[in-house]
Structure 1
């Protein structure tokens, strides 16, 4: 477990205070902490410092001295799926956790205190996708954003969007903006009119060995160079570079198999 901190403003909107329901942090649990630090440090220019240790070794990734993500080490023998987890801001993690349970989700960890930084919980929505809840102990603050190496977007890949979008609307107060298309099942989640996350229904194309899951997009300045660097560092390209609503995007994995996306915004 890594403790959550106030992270970059998402979606190119610049630094922002994180209203309840806003994605505010991402974390990753891995088997090899040192090797993972080396990979992401080389790929994104991250530096690291120790994080909360009450649930095992962890570090916080920093860019230009600002925290952008957390990485923790799984206990030996725990063969859990490796993946990036987005955290949604909450004014009361305990109440939000109760809402998750009441809406058909589950809470697997917490709510619990993360040292003096705040309070967190980790759960899953009715489709099985894992996400976090983060209640900051301090006043919300700004941090580095819209720069290469920072989270830019979080997108849920699931079987269908309607029922799970209702879950996030009820728990976090998200507004839904569905794409009207016969061949695309996509809903943008908004807060106060601002896009904060997406839900993509894949139907039968959802990988059975993975199930529903969140994918975090990280900004890069040059996607081609980033992909070359990633493969040289031991990562893999799952879906080559292609144009999207967010810019030029590729889906990749790190050496342990954690899936994420790289995005180069249109200039």
Structure 2
């Protein structure tokens, strides 16, 4: 019996998350212990790179920065596109920038890394052999992506223009400046305006949420493994959440979802 084919991600939908670090082996050990990930080699155009897998299905990527590159260590979401070159040009024409690519990643697909007009970094992915994250809804899988920015009014127009999102204000959200991004009526990501609460050392950035079985237990595990709990576990609108950082400082949110 053959496994069902992995469906292609809708253009504009988050399809992958990737992390660039200085210590690849130590980072693999951290996420293996936290999420149960195993690893297999991935495309190496930008240096050593591995793909994390759960039950044989790929969920995320981790690469190694060159020793002389002192870039922020952060999780980066990738959004699906049917044509990376066209989307890259659209990003530029609507006030964003392209820092890497577009370029081919072996036979896996074509990618670029850019930033929106506020400076928040994200990637785009034109799938070929590699379609992106292939499993969801279980411990260790990406669950959600949120842009943390000063205000959403301006930047929402950029994401609407580039990816064709429908934008829906959420009156029940806290804070009030919260927009849900939808594709074909389905929520795929969100923009959260936090004003002066935005960390000065990070600026606008995308926050990746990972599903966990037990938020409190996972937060304790993060600390035991040398990471940090930045926001203690608490109940949120869609589950119990905590904001944490791995030993190299990559910030992410863990959530026991109630969706």
TM-score in terms of structure 1 length = 0.91
2:140 maps to what in 1?
149
1:119 maps to what in 2?
110
CA offset digits 1:200-249 (Å, max 9, x no partner):
00111111111000010000001111111111001100011111122100
What's the CA shift for 1:142? 8.0
CA offset digits 1:77-102 (Å, max 9, x no partner):
21111100000000000000000000
1:110 maps to what in 2?
101
Is 1:179 the equivalent of 2:170?
yes
- C-alpha distance in structure 1 between counterparts of 2:61 and 2:131, whole Å: 18
1:27 maps to what in 2?
18
The residue correspondences of 1:23-172 to structure 2 (distance < 5 A) are 23-138=14-129, 143-172=134-163
Gap runs ≥5 in structure 1: 1-14
1:202 maps to what in 2?
194
Report the secondary structure of 1:257's partner residue. coil
What's the CA shift for 1:179? 2.0
The residue correspondences of 1:186-225 to structure 2 (distance < 5 A) are 186-225=178-217
What's the CA shift for 1:141? 8.3
Residues 16 and 133 in structure 2, CA contact (< 8 A), matched pair in contact too: no
What's the CA shift for 1:180? 3.0
- C-alpha distance in structure 2 between counterparts of 1:183 and 1:261, whole Å: 17
1:259 maps to what in 2?
251
CA offset digits 1:91-118 (Å, max 9, x no partner):
0000000000000000000000000011
Residues 59 and 132 in structure 2, CA contact (< 8 A), matched pair in contact too: no
**The 10-residue stretch of structure 1 (35-44 or 134-143) with the greater mean CA deviation from structure 2:** 134-143
Alpha-carbon spacing, 1:172–1:73, altered in 2? closer, same or farther (3 Å): same
1:230 maps to what in 2?
222
What's the CA shift for 1:186? 0.4
- C-alpha distance in structure 2 between counterparts of 1:133 and 1:154, whole Å: 14
Q: Which has the higher contact order (CA 8 A, sep 6+)?
A: 1
Alpha-carbon spacing, 1:118–1:178, altered in 2? closer, same or farther (3 Å): same
- C-alpha distance in structure 1 between counterparts of 2:200 and 2:30, whole Å: 28
Gap runs ≥5 in structure 2: 1-5
Report the secondary structure of 2:221's partner residue. helix
CA-based RMSD: 1.6
What's the CA shift for 1:32? 0.3
2:9 maps to what in 1?
18
Is 1:250 the equivalent of 2:242?
yes
What's the CA shift for 1:41? 0.5
